[in-house]
Amino acid sequence: MIRRIALFLGFLPLLLLADEGMYPLSEIHKLDLQKAGLHITATDIFNENGISLVDAIVQIGGCTGSFVSPQGLILTNHHCAYGAAQRASSTEHDYIQNGFLAADQSREIEAKGYTVRITESYRDVSAEILKGISDKTGPVERTEIIEKNSKQLVKQTEAENPGKRAEVAEMFIGKTYVLFIYTYIRDVRMVYVPPRSIGEFGGDEDNWEWPRHNADFSFLRAYMAPDGSPADYSPDNVPFQPKNFLQIDPAGASEGDLVFILGYPGRTFRHRSAAFLRFEETSRMPLVVEWYQRYMELMRTNSSLSRDVAIRHLNRIKGLANTEKNYRGKLQGMKRLGLTAKRQAEEQDLQNFVLADKSLDKSYGTVLADLNQHFNDQAASFEAEFLLGQLRSAAILPAIARSLIKAGVERVKTDLERESAYMDRNYDRTKHGLLMNLNNFYAPTDQAILTMILQRLAELPASELLNPVQDWIRDNGGSSRLPTAVEELYTKTQLTDPVEIDRLLSLAETGQLPATDPMILFFSGLNDSYKALDDLSDRRKGEINRLAGKLTEMRRLYLQKDFIPDANGTFRLTYGYVRGYQPRDAVYKKPFTTLSGVIEKTTGTEPFDTPQALIELYKKSKSRRFFNQNLNDIPTAMLYTTDTTGGNSGSPVLNADGRLVGLNFDRTFEATINDFAWSESYSRSIGADIRYILWITGEFAGASHLLREMNL
């Protein structure tokens, strides 16, 4: 049961039916879902006074998952459980390559670094968060006030709700804020992860593409202390009993069926200005693509040395490749749709509307020009800012050094003054994350990343921001000596040793971090740059907070309607229909793929290397369960028109009766544009068909105990 304490958006009573929309909890009851084809009621989906489907949905590893048994069994994507499988893997136990199946509960292994988040309640807190802010508040102060108000509210709420976590989510930038209360489960275990050749069949090549033939699913399980409270991993913990779990419909879906998705989509940017879109299109995304390509090339080359080295890079390469291809899709989509120019034309109408009215002109007349100025300024120094950011985060030892320095500064402050990662409520996790990252450390990769970033920084025009780092480069023999200078940092640093990191963390916590380690010394020398960078970011946040809030007001006045807030990692519902699409002239893509397609694509070489055992089972599949007569095959994946984004991975795809028929895992290349604009013609999400998931679990893995646990 999720308690709703107040309505927060004040939308129109009934929203018009449309396929676009990631509806927050407060909007679900305003939709005419029956008209869309739903057989169950909005209350069955979300019931603030009782149990509903929402109670079965969790956020896990940056993705969505759902409970599918009364014993805390969670179904999510293979790529969402990937980090857990990688961390548990070694050359002897290669769970990425071979998969993992626990024969029974006692053999389920820890999914390190994973938590399960369950939404308990929410309420509008806009007035509390914006308290003390007026039109005259300066940008830095604005950011500080919002942060302070949020932290205070979170602290107070957590004190009133022991064992729970509170989080404030910004719904409309600078306008509406919602406080969510969550349960966090900290003991999560791996139950079944298929081998890479099935879960990740097609690899990066197929990622963001249709047709798809991978079984992108895994089973995990949530555990609690015997007294029912969330606890760290312990053999004494017991399976969590969720308030609700989803029923599976083994019959799956058919073309044209209504489907809906519940989950935690990450971020969309549909209400942003043309200036923002231009900045993304011409500055930020192209630069990210360029650098991620460099990192990947390096990591892939190093990975070919041995399986041990490869395992250390797997998860990072996967993440980089995912973003890099997504951005390329977005860049292509923006160009093709002329998105920035269209938004600019809309804004011209908006500006004319404002100028026609004296009082509107006074309040809003300069908003669009100010936004332009803001993003032009940001574009001018973007490369330097981006690379300074990368310098402290892209390689592992630099990230550890920066965190140690930060801990030294933040941990001596009072809790509410600390940066979020260093507050008491988050600090253990921050420390844990640092040490976990160390497991992926491979010196030649780390060193090469740091060197190439420094090489580029050396070439950029001098500026206050870059002076310290350019001075360091000069003092160490200039650009041509950088590989040697960086190597010296790496041969002398002790930050590869977890015991030393622990020791330095304890010293940092009392403000006594010694600046003797060369890596720490190097980054301490850049403190002024990072202080300036962080101040700049606070100022920008404050400016956008004011301007984006105004832009929303202007649009509401002009269009005379309300909008759905952009995705922000909080709970959303989206619905649509199982449907193919036409990506290009004369090309139509059907909405289902099949097991025969898997066999057809199989080349025997990674990433199209289907296991022989699966090929054998395929030959017998006609007479087996989950074979579909209409398709004359076992369906493997499907397409539908829902409105999804990153974070929706692992979301259950539910049919008109609210039963699970698929598992969302991706979008088509054209649909990467969703984050900026949804389009009926292009926006298609991709899910693993439940029949393939069950066939793999039952027939390939032989995990009939899991099917029984799900009542199948």
| Site residues for ligand ASP per CB under 6 A | 63, 644-649, 665-667
Between 522 and 665, CB nearer to ligand ASP: 665
For 208, which DSSP code?
T
For 628, which DSSP code?
B
C-alpha–C-alpha distance, residues 630 and 544, integer Å? 53
Phi, psi of 157 (to 5 degrees): -65, -40
Between 161 and 323, CB nearer to ligand ASP: 323
Distance in Å, CB of 64 to ligand ASP, minimum: 8
C-alpha–C-alpha distance, residues 203 and 221, integer Å? 26
Between 372 and 668, CB nearer to ligand ASP: 668
Between 20 and 361, CB nearer to ligand ASP: 20
Distance in Å, CB of 179 to ligand ASP, minimum: 25
C-alpha–C-alpha distance, residues 401 and 25, integer Å? 41
SS3 59: strand
Report long-range pairs for 32-41 (Cβ below 8 Å, ≥24 apart).
33/260, 33/575, 36/258, 36/575, 37/258, 37/656, 38/258, 38/260, 38/575, 38/656, 39/656, 39/657, 39/658, 40/656, 40/657, 40/658
C-alpha–C-alpha distance, residues 282 and 561, integer Å? 31
C-alpha–C-alpha distance, residues 183 and 116, integer Å? 8
C-alpha–C-alpha distance, residues 118 and 136, integer Å? 39
Hey, what's the torsion of the CAs at 201, 567, 685, 38, to 10 degrees? 130
Distance in Å, CB of 622 to ligand ASP, minimum: 32
Distance in Å, CB of 623 to ligand ASP, minimum: 34
Distance in Å, CB of 664 to ligand ASP, minimum: 7
Distance in Å, CB of 675 to ligand ASP, minimum: 8
C-alpha–C-alpha distance, residues 516 and 522, integer Å? 10
Between 212 and 667, CB nearer to ligand ASP: 667
Residue 311's identity, in one-letter code, is I
Between 200 and 666, CB nearer to ligand ASP: 666
Between 33 and 261, CB nearer to ligand ASP: 261
Between 540 and 667, CB nearer to ligand ASP: 667
Distance in Å, CB of 319 to ligand ASP, minimum: 10
**Which pair of structure tokens corresponds to residue 697?**
């679990």
**Which pair of structure tokens corresponds to residue 708?**
């029984």
**Cβ neighbours of residue 261 closer than 8 Å, sequence gap 6 or more:** 573, 574, 575, 642, 644, 648, 651, 652, 653, 654, 664, 685
Hey, what's the torsion of the CAs at 269, 270, 274, 278, to 10 degrees? 40
Q: How far is CA 243 from the centre of its chain?
A: 25
Between 60 and 296, CB nearer to ligand ASP: 60
Distance in Å, CB of 566 to ligand ASP, minimum: 15
Closest CB to ligand ASP belongs to which residue?
649
Between 192 and 264, CB nearer to ligand ASP: 264
Between 325 and 550, CB nearer to ligand ASP: 325
Alpha helices by DSSP H, listed for 621-702, are 690-695
Distance in Å, CB of 649 to ligand ASP, minimum: 3
Q: Which residues pair with 116 in a beta bridge?
A: 60, 185
Distance in Å, CB of 672 to ligand ASP, minimum: 8
Between 665 and 669, CB nearer to ligand ASP: 665
- Pairing label, strands 3-4, 116-124: parallel
Q: How far is CA 169 from the centre of its chain?
A: 15
Distance in Å, CB of 62 to ligand ASP, minimum: 7
Distance in Å, CB of 540 to ligand ASP, minimum: 26
